[in-house]
Amino acid sequence: MIASRLELVIFDCDGVLVDSEPIINQAHASVLTACGYSVTERDLVERFCGMSDPEMLAVIERDWGRALPALYGERVGVLIESGFRKSLRAIGGVPEVLDGLQMPICVASSSTPEQIRRKLELTGLLSRFGENLFSATMVSRGKPAPDLFLFAAQQLATLPVRCLVIEDSPAGIDAAVAAGMTAIGFCGGSHCGVGHRDRLLEHGASLAIDEMRQLRTAMTELTRIPAR
């Protein structure tokens, strides 16, 4: 992949643009444990990072052999909204990077359209993307399937080979690779623990960065990586 031929940068939202993963996973862990399914925030990050909530909860219900309470979503939603209002922040360096990119950008996230918009609004990033917000609810299969990234590229009339994906989750990297796109792994979210970089590289990220301010340098570095 030659960086100068890139025409679209696709950003994941949670853990890439906004530091929301700890808030979201703390809420789920708290309510799941209260329901009788004992789990920690770290357990959820390591197993389900990048997956949509419905997909994650379906797996948990299968493992548990029980259905979650009807009010589960409401209880989790209250905790998440409270956490967002108190402490949700943009990942450091994101506004400057977005303002400096000289090509189209979009968001492709496992969250619902309403959730994506809310998080970007709270962190002052929404205006930078306009209507270029794409959700897993818009396709039949979420990450790690390539459908969402391919849909985003199609909507913005860009060939997959000309797309660069910025992702923090193995599932997201898998989706980008399956879509025929180049992926840069992002390890700067507060949920990223020891070994996170290695996991993203193992799943096929061409490079991994620890700070969003390193993105431009990383894009230049892609020119030195032989095409696969």
Buried b (16+ CB within 10 A) or exposed e, 111-133: bbeebbbbbbebbebbebbeebb
- The predicted pLDDT at position 16 comes to 97
What confidence score (pLDDT) does residue 1 get?
Answer: 46
* CA nearest to 54, candidates 137, 129, 119, 131: 137
Low-confidence ranges of the chain (pLDDT < 70): 1-4, 225-228
Task: Give the pLDDT score at 184.
Answer: 97
What superfamily would CATH give domain 3-20+88-224? HAD superfamily/HAD-like (3.40.50.1000)
Residue with the two structure tokens 């700890």: 22
pLDDT number for residue 227: 56
Q: Is 216 exposed, middle or buried (0-12, 13-18, 19+ CB in 10 A)?
A: middle
Q: How far apart are CA 118 and CA 188, in angstroms?
A: 21
How does pLDDT run across 156-200, given as a tens digit for each residue? 999 999 999 999 999 999 999 999 999 999 999 878 888 899 999
User: Is residue 200 a contact partner of residue 191, using CB atoms and an 8 Å limit?
Assistant: no
Dihedrals phi, psi of 34, to nearest 5 degrees: -65, -30
Residues carrying CATH 3.40.50.1000, the chain: 3-20+88-224
Residues paired with residue 135 on neighbouring β-strands, in sequence order = 109
Please tell me what DSSP assigns to residue 59. H
Q: Which residue stretches of 94-227 are H helix?
A: 94-100, 113-122, 147-155, 170-178, 196-202, 215-221
Residue intervals of the chain classified under CATH 1.10.150.240 are: 21-87
Q: What confidence score (pLDDT) does residue 194 get?
A: 83
For 144-153, the pLDDT digits (tens) are 999 999 999 9
Give the pLDDT of residue 206: 95
- This prediction has a pTM of 0.87
CATH architecture of the region 21-87: Orthogonal Bundle (1.10)
